[in-house]
Structure 1
Amino acid sequence: MKYKAIIFERLSKGKFINSNLKSDRPLFDFVEEHFESLFQDFEELNFVLQRGDGFYYFSRTESKATLERKLKTAFKWIDYMDFFKTYNSSFSAGIRFSITGISGEMKVNTALKEKLRALHKGSKLESELEMLTKMVDALEAEGFIVLEDAYESTYRVLSSWSYLEELILKIDITEDLHTS
């Protein structure tokens, strides 16, 4: 199990292992093949190996303070997803995009521009390009996208984006139909 330490190091840092990222593919295939034994090994260390659609990640039982921090982060990711779905309603794993393409779309799509401004309200960032770059950098750092072509500044959305989509689908808000 030559990959076990690498897998643990990556996942324990909150990263993903994606099926559609060439450098992750050997790790992904290894987890696919040895899922049950890895699940048991990591469970002994209080990490739960989770399987998504084309990606793997760890989850853990968390304290209330940690849960609150995670919820705040989840709200940020939901807002980011809303922004990118406004840019392209089919924005999901496999899609390629560029910052300049989004920037150009904001010139004709005021809703997109307003969402970007709302996401960065109160920040010291002044230009829309800075705001957009900060969002893309955050998504890349968390393993949801990867820079595919540095010269063209094009990015590809990874399978782990499905994690955000699944998160949103799991939110069930029931409305109280009875008014007092």
Structure 2
Amino acid sequence: MELPNQTAAIFDRLAKGQFISANSTDPNQRLYFQLLTQHESAFSEFFNQIDFKLHRGDGYYYFSRSKSLKSWEDKKDRVERYIDWLDLLRNWRPKLGAGYQFSFDELLADIQSHAKLKRKLYQFVPRGHPDSLADSIRTWLRQLERESFVEPIDKGEQYQVLYAFSYLDHFIQQLVIR
């Protein structure tokens, strides 16, 4: 089977460690998800040949590698970061999940008024860098965006949680269970 023209774009996104989510506001991502779903076995076979394993979650796809190029220290740091992010988000909105929408102002107001949330934020976005609480939250939201867990809508002041967020939940549950 011949793979779609978008194969290179799909590979580029997944190879960077990003997710492709069905509920993305980006039409290209939705198309990539649809193509991956329609031709999953062909994509899996193709990517396996270049040492990438295609995984499907509930509404998202991602890559893993059998021989990771990253060190164990990098992996440990990433896991710790995911735990911190999930901890803050679950303390902020316990039922937060895929499809949930929130505004920057709502998040800022809640973190400003809850010392516990502010402490959690400063565990992974150091105080003073950036200069204000609002800048720290924007920095964190950009990190969540880069990892494909949230996406800005409405000119960046509104955000939507993507299906890939359930990867965090599942990943952390696997750590807790074991």
In the superposition, the TM-score normalised over structure 2's length comes to: 0.88
In structure 1, what residue type is equivalent to 2:9?
A: I
Deviation at 1:107, TM superposition (A): 3.5
In structure 2, C-alpha distance between the alignment counterparts of 1:29 and 1:36, rounded to whole Å: 13
Does 2:88 match 1:98?
no
Q: How does 1:9-28 map to 2 (within 5 A)?
A: 9-22=12-25, 23=27, 24-28=29-33
Match of 2:72, SS?
helix
Ranges in structure 1 where 5+ consecutive residues have no aligned partner? 175-180
Ranges in structure 2 where 5+ consecutive residues have no aligned partner? none
Contact in 2 for aligned 1:116/1:128 (Cα 8 Å): no
Q: How does 1:142-161 map to 2 (within 5 A)?
A: 142-150=147-155, 153-161=157-165
Q: How does 1:1-180 map to 2 (within 5 A)?
A: 1-2=3-4, 3-22=6-25, 23=27, 24-62=29-67, 66-121=71-126, 124-150=129-155, 153-172=157-176
- The percentage of aligned residue pairs carrying the same residue is 31
In structure 2, C-alpha distance between the alignment counterparts of 1:65 and 1:50, rounded to whole Å: 19
Match of 1:156, SS?
strand
Partner of 1:178: none
In structure 1, C-alpha distance between the alignment counterparts of 2:70 and 2:110, rounded to whole Å: 39
Partner of 1:177: none
Deviation at 1:58, TM superposition (A): 0.6
Contact in 1 for aligned 2:150/2:161 (Cα 8 Å): yes
Deviation at 1:141, TM superposition (A): 1.4
CA RMSD of aligned residues (A): 1.9
> What is the aligned residue count?
173
**Larger Cα Rg: Structure 1 or Structure 2?**
1
